[in-house]
Structure 1
Amino acid sequence: MKVQKGVLLLFLSLLHFYANAQVQRTRDAYLMGGKFIITIVAGDSLTAERYIDTVIAEISRIEYLISDWKPETQISKVNQQAGIRPVKVDREVLELTEHAISMSRLTNGAFDISFAAMEKIWKFDGSEMKMPSKKVVKKARANVGYKNIIIDRDSSTIFLKRKGMKIGFGALGEGYAADKCRELMLQKGITAGIVNATGDVLTWGTRPDGTPWKIGVNDPFSNNKLIAAISWEGAATTSGNYEKYAIINGKRYAHIINPATGYPVSGLTSVTVLGPSAEQANAFSTSIMVLGVKKGLRMLKKFPDYKAIVITDKQEIITSPNFNLEQYKIHY
């Protein structure tokens, strides 16, 4: 039986298509105190689901190293021994802490993981009707200061010099976990996926049909609306005051604390940073909220792989010079 050449080529093309077809699977998980949405692209549903399990396990592993609200973690033990003695930690925890300190130096303290000492005096749950007293803020502020975090690489220890000090990775931990998951998936041959860590997004590869992932940038002044949808492979993290905040005397205060003053920042509504690393982008978006537009964008200029979209309390949209937002804007 003679098979026509065209039919044979079509048959071979279909075989190639089905052999290389990809499926996309997504699952929600409550991790690190928030909602993660994990998407994996793989050759079949079973494989995709199995690797989502792997991602969840990796995030849980990191949570049990760096969480400051679980008493058994290494960071909690560091906090418990503040002002008493150094605590031995895994190299991974040590290096993450070192990176946080380097960000503190870069921003002259605008970014500081020891801000966690201020958490108890600000709730941001809608119950605050007035500012804490200056005395209370001053007392808590005395326990903030990255220069009092002592790292000993030889013994792999962290020591907080002052009793009452506390460190927390809220502004880095989720981004770090997303970076580690992408790295792990690429090692295992998963070339596309998304880790959405409570709104901070890290994408790699493309959709099963080859089109790019799109990152939505929320309009903080209008519920359920986007200002832009950006085709993007990499990290997109947002820090802002439009979801978690306090309104005191008619003024909105973000949940982000200025380590220099002990008070919440104001002036900017949101900062979105795009770049290759979710951990680094998260640190930058938090820092810019504290530094303000001019100082923040001046700092970011030293890192050309990162771009920023800043929205002020007056609804002004400002971008870093290396990013053209117009091509991605959504017009309703």
Structure 2
Amino acid sequence: MPTRRRTLLLIAAALGLPRAGAAPEGGYRFQRGLMGTRFMVTCYHEEGELVGKAVAAAFAEADRINEAASDYIADSELLSIGKVPPGTPVRVSPLLFGLLEEAWAQAEKTGGLFDPTVGPLTRLWRESRRRKALPDAATLAKAKAAIGWKKLVLDPAESTATFTVPDMRLDLGGIAKGQAADRMLAILGKHGVPCSSVTAGGDVRMGDPPPGKEGWNIGVRNRDVDRNAAELVLRNKAVSTSGDLRQFIEIGGVRYSHIVDPATGLGLTRPVSATIIAVNAATSDALATACCIADRETGRKLAAAQGAEVFLAEG
């Protein structure tokens, strides 16, 4: 077994890190399942022990985010907001409040195309996927009445979140992985490992480039799953891709994406994908969802307003 591979495995075992994958030349790589996808951290540093401690701390932060902000964990802090009558402020942790503020800000910037209150609709989509049937009109109308980012009131002074109408439910699925990637990269940097990259499903957050390189090589894959539409070299940026390549259902001969349009309450039916390059992964993650829902021109304006670049593919 090559020395670097053996060192990687020993670090992972000793510090209880995620499974160690094949390391790039001169670097370290760790992977584990989290938030319903695969997270991967790639680092370059001469001190393997330092890398191990940094990666362990980064994944610990991702676990904290998942435990607080998951809408799959029944007793998560996120879901606790909906367990009191409407109009009742719920005090939340600084961690969750920061995530909610970031999500609310993206909802405002995208005019609600990205909406963290879309939970009632995503829950219906999961049920539709399981039953292979669309919800009836009354059920859909009730869910639509419970969404709307302006119906979520955040109070920074008290660190509270308030639902203003019944049956609201939060879903940070369109931003949480990006938020986790941002925070993981920040922790890696604070531990002295700035030459790092964090991949969280369709989101990639890059720090300083590998030694001797101009940047990180990133392949953009839109409608064709077998080849990249573009090859990028980036540093200290984030890239997110969203679309219906893998997550969709077919009902009555119609293909519905997992991306729910708040206006219709149903998954998108037109084939579309969006890749966003932005300053951080929370922004690129939320914009990737918003740009899939928006028409092409609106999507480009939304991205430009936040200093981001967008690659759109339809059909």
What TM-score range do you get, normalising by the shorter chain?
A: 0.7 to 0.9
1:226 pairs with one of 225, 228, 231: 228
Q: Distance in 1 between matches of 2:202 and 2:115?
A: 22
RMSD over aligned CA atoms reads 2.0
Structure 1 position 32, deviation (Å): 2.1
Distance 1:130 1:75, change over 3 A: closer
Q: Is the contact between residue 40 and residue 51 of structure 1 (CA under 8 Å) also seen in structure 2?
A: no
CA distance in 1: counterparts of 2:113 and 2:207, whole angstroms: 30
Percent identity of paired positions between Structure 1 and Structure 2:
24
Q: Distance in 1 between matches of 2:74 and 2:134?
A: 29
User: Structure 1 CA distance, aligned partners of 2:214 and 2:174?
Assistant: 31
Q: Does 1:30 align with 2:33?
A: yes
- 1:82–1:164 CA contact under 8 A, matched in 2: no
Unpaired runs of at least 5, structure 2? 1-24
2:160 corresponds in structure 1 to 157
Match of 1:181 in 2: 184
The 2-side partners of 1:299 and 1:266 are apart by 21
Deviation at 1:33, TM superposition (A): 2.6
Q: Does the 8 Å contact 1:125/1:244 carry over to 2?
A: no
Distance in 1, matches of 2:77 and 2:135, equals: 31
Structure 1 stretches of 4+ with a deviation exceeding 6 A read none
Specify which of 128, 140, 158 is matched with residue 137 of structure 1.
Answer: 140
The equivalent of 2:298 in structure 1 is: 295
Name 2:58's counterpart in structure 1.
55
Report the residue type matching 2:98 in the other structure: E
User: Quick check: 1:268–1:310 contact (8 Å CA) kept in 2?
Assistant: no
Q: Give the whole-Å Cα distance in 2 for the aligned partners of 1:67 and 1:126.
A: 20
Distance 1:185 1:118 in 2: 36
Q: Secondary structure at the match of 1:285?
A: helix
Seen in structure 2, the aligned counterparts of structure 1 residues 69 and 131 have a Cα distance that, compared at 3 Å, is closer
The answer to whether the Cα contact below 8 Å between 2:50 and 2:191 also exists between their aligned partners in 1 is no
- Deviations, residues 69-107 of structure 1 (Å, cap 9, x unaligned): 223332121122252622111233223222322222222
Structure of greater Rg:
1
Shift in alpha-carbon separation, 1:168–1:127, aligned structure 2, 3 A? closer
Alignment correspondent of 1:196: 199
CA shift at 1:151, angstroms? Answer: 1.5
1:72 is paired with a residue of what secondary structure? coil
Alignment of 1:1-332 (within 5 A): 23-81=26-84, 83=86, 85-123=88-126, 127=130, 129-221=132-224, 223-233=225-235, 234-304=237-307, 306-313=308-315
Residues 155 and 236 from structure 1, CA distance in 2 versus in 1: closer, same or farther, beyond 3 angstroms? same
Asked if structure 2 preserves the Cα contact closer than 8 Å seen for 1:124 and 1:246, the reply is no
Structure 2 counterpart of 1:274, which letter? I
Rounded Cα–Cα distance in structure 1 between residues aligned with 2:55 and 2:103:
28
Unaligned runs of 5+ residues in structure 1 are 1-21, 314-332
8 A Cα contact 1:24 1:45, kept in partner: no
Q: CA deviation at 1:289?
A: 1.0
Q: Which moved more, 1:271-280 or 1:53-62?
A: 53-62
Residues in 2 aligned to 1:56 and 1:299: alpha-carbon distance in whole angstroms? 31
